[in-house]
Structure 1
Amino acid sequence: MDASPARRTLRTTAVLGCCCLALVSGCSAFGTDTAEDTSADRAARAAAVPMAATDLENQYQKVIKDVLPSVVQIQASRDLGSGVVYDGNGHIVTNAHVVGDEKTFKVTTANNEEPLTASLVHSYPEQDLAVIKLDKVPDGLKAASFGDSEKVQVGQITLAMGSPLGLSSSVTEGIVSATGRTVSENPSGGGTGATIANMVQTSAAINPGNSGGALVGLNGQIVGIPTLAASDPDLGGSAAPGIGFAIPASMVKTVADQIIKHGTVVDSGRAALGITGRTVVDENYQPAGVAVVTVQPDGAAGRAGIQPGDIITKVGGDDITTITSLAESLAADRPGQRTTVAYSRNGVQKTADVTLSEQ
């Protein structure tokens, strides 16, 4: 992204401040404008513009110097991605789709030219997160600082760090374009198929290999873990430039802390109906709902009397037409929350009050 808007804001502030000071000084000392005052004003403005640009550039470089050593390259047998050093014990957080089904990896850190070996601690595809651990912790390994996702604001400058296309220690820049996005990954595009809520949208370039790396604010804290770029169906599914998504830092911390402590995720915080289902179409071959295939007897749907063969058409205020729309609706809810499910059984419309269970 062109950083000039940010620079223009800083320049304008700096120039206005200098002009005000110059005018006040001129009025108190001389009472009128002189050629000498005008020349001084011009000199002040000329000095302020590069100073503002330099300040921003220096901040970029400071963040990169502080955070990039905590971003690593992860090599599986066939895939390559990025990761972020989570603590001083050698734990590294990355995407589940980076580790895939593998258990061992080669990791290249900023301070080691030769790859280190690492082993999988646990992969959690439902949130597309995983934790691996270095078999031997090298000297100088630096953990990253993860921020509070609730404080992320649209327009905030962000830097994406990782190994796009295998180019290690690469940095791109952009802004937070939106927050609170619910995004469903495409399994055929290399994702886990997860539906993830509250993702951070960014204009910083996210390319293959960036997955699992760091999206960083200018305060040096991790905003999120870059996970995927949007694709444009009208362009044959190719990546849509300037639209990337990152799993928010707070969710990363929640999942990683559980994996490190328990070896698995014990509290997902993700709501579920406790069913498996498939998309059904109407007489015009348009998606029309989710047919229930199996029901967990002790799950939310089972307790509410929903049965295999029922077709779910609405959850709360959300229309349900596909299995993806059902996942996206539930992604915004929490276990224990009460909602209403509308469904049809043998052509008869019914509703059920449901207390959502945990995925």
Structure 2
Amino acid sequence: MDASRTRARLYLPLAALVCSAALIAGCSGSGSSPAKDDTTTQAAAPAAANDLQDDYLKVIKDVLPSVVQIQASSDLGSGVVYDDKGHIVTNAHVVGDEKTFKVTTANNEDEQTATLVYAYPQQDLAVIKLDKVPDGLKAAAFGDSSKVQVGQIVLAMGSPLGLSSSVTQGIVSATGRTVSEGSGDGGTGATIANMVQTSAAINPGNSGGALVDLDGRVIGIPTLAATDPTLGAGTAPGIGFAIPASMVTKVADQIIEDGRVTDSGRAALGITARTVVDDDYQAAAGVAVVEVKSGGAADKAGIEPGDIITELGDTDITTVTSLSEALAAEKPGDKVTVTYTRDGSEKTVDVTLGEQ
């Protein structure tokens, strides 16, 4: 298999990566029985390590059979078995424009065929369905994203570089990240809110797999890895992002029940826009409204084609990406103040946001 064809989004360039390390050495004060204390510590450490290893082994045994490899034409990704009817959730950028797929499960090397149910690029999620459900197919259990904590140990499972049923480990580095994908090389261009940042290795082919806690619950779908500008197109080690489980289940449930997404929960202005630059053509200076959706939020507020949006609430808007990221922090029905220029004059208007 040509590993260079595996799918993964290696976006979110970082302006700078600053790494620091410090060695912290500590020693306890003198005591009446130092030899006894040392013995206790020495005995406890291996026991704790064995307990953690046992936790890893149990989670891998329980969850890995629910993580599959997805072959879409010449591209490769991962997926997670969603139910006992053969539905599999993955990334929209894994399925691309394909309608049929080959799927390999962890417990069976025979390829299964699957068909696209629906792809939702706005959230970079998709559901496919096995044409025939093999014996022993096991659905994964999904966790509650609101309970994910920074520092929590997690395992990433998938098919990095075509190496099926691979597992890496790390911690939750941060929560609530808003991340924008690129739109080139098969990317959806989506801006995704509330992503889970992890130090677990995320490589090409991991996309659509599982980020799992030590209770054996999927807390996210690995989707993005950051890039380090100093490495060209290379990834920044230890900085990956996963779509939170609560959003995954919300979207997947709608796709399975209705064949599409009926309630995205994503706020929208209802416009088509493009980035404009300043008079010196040196820097992005706002977002020009190209088209206004009839009856949409912007239309109802009186925003017109040709207006240049410069602020949404308290957030400066310089590019289409910055507008998408600002909207990702809002919900449909929220009222925000939009600042824009028209014929050289600055104006403001309150807009009740619609749904994407």
How does the TM-score come out when normalised to structure 2?
A: 0.89
Superposition RMSD in Å:
1.7
- Equivalent residue number for residue 332 of structure 2: 335
Could you say what secondary structure the match of 1:188 adopts?
Answer: coil
- Equivalent residue number for residue 260 of structure 2: 264
- Equivalent residue number for residue 274 of structure 1: 270
Distance 1:169 1:73 in 2: 8
> In the alignment, which of 154, 157, 168 is matched to residue 150 of structure 2?
154
Distance 1:289 1:228 in 2: 27
Unaligned runs of 5+ in 2: 1-23
Does residue 1:318 correspond to 2:315, yes or no? yes
> In the alignment, which of 51, 72, 75 is matched to residue 68 of structure 2?
72
- Equivalent residue number for residue 356 of structure 1: 353
- Equivalent residue number for residue 216 of structure 2: 220
> In the alignment, which of 333, 342, 346 is matched to residue 345 of structure 1?
342
> In the alignment, which of 53, 56, 70 is matched to residue 52 of structure 2?
56
Distance 1:330 1:41 in 2: 56
- Equivalent residue number for residue 232 of structure 1: 228
Does residue 1:302 correspond to 2:265, yes or no? no
8 Å Cα contact 2:96/2:186 also seen in 1: no
- Equivalent residue number for residue 249 of structure 1: 245
- Equivalent residue number for residue 84 of structure 2: 88
Counterpart AA for 1:349: E
Counterpart AA for 1:212: G
Counterpart AA for 1:325: S
Per-residue CA deviation, residues 159-196 of structure 1 (Å, 9 max, x unaligned), is 00000000000001111000000000012243210000
> In the alignment, which of 191, 194, 210 is matched to residue 190 of structure 2?
194
Question: By percentage of residues, which structure has more helix?
Answer: 1
Distance 1:139 1:246 in 2: 29
Structure number with larger C-alpha Rg: 1
Counterpart AA for 2:330: D
Counterpart AA for 2:91: N
Could you say what secondary structure the match of 1:122 adopts?
Answer: strand
Distance 1:230 1:278 in 2: 25
Could you tell me how far 1:38 is from its partner in structure 2? Answer: 6.7
Could you tell me how far 1:239 is from its partner in structure 2? Answer: 1.1
Distance 2:89 2:280 in 1: 45
Distance 2:333 2:152 in 1: 34
Unaligned runs of 5+ in 1: 1-7, 17-22, 24-32
How does the TM-score come out when normalised to structure 1?
A: 0.88
Aligned residues: 328
How high is the sequence identity, in percent, across the aligned residues? 74
Could you tell me how far 1:236 is from its partner in structure 2? Answer: 2.1
Greater relative contact order structure (CA < 8 Å, 6+ sep) = 2
**Correspondence 1:23-62 to 2 at 5 A:** 41-62=37-58
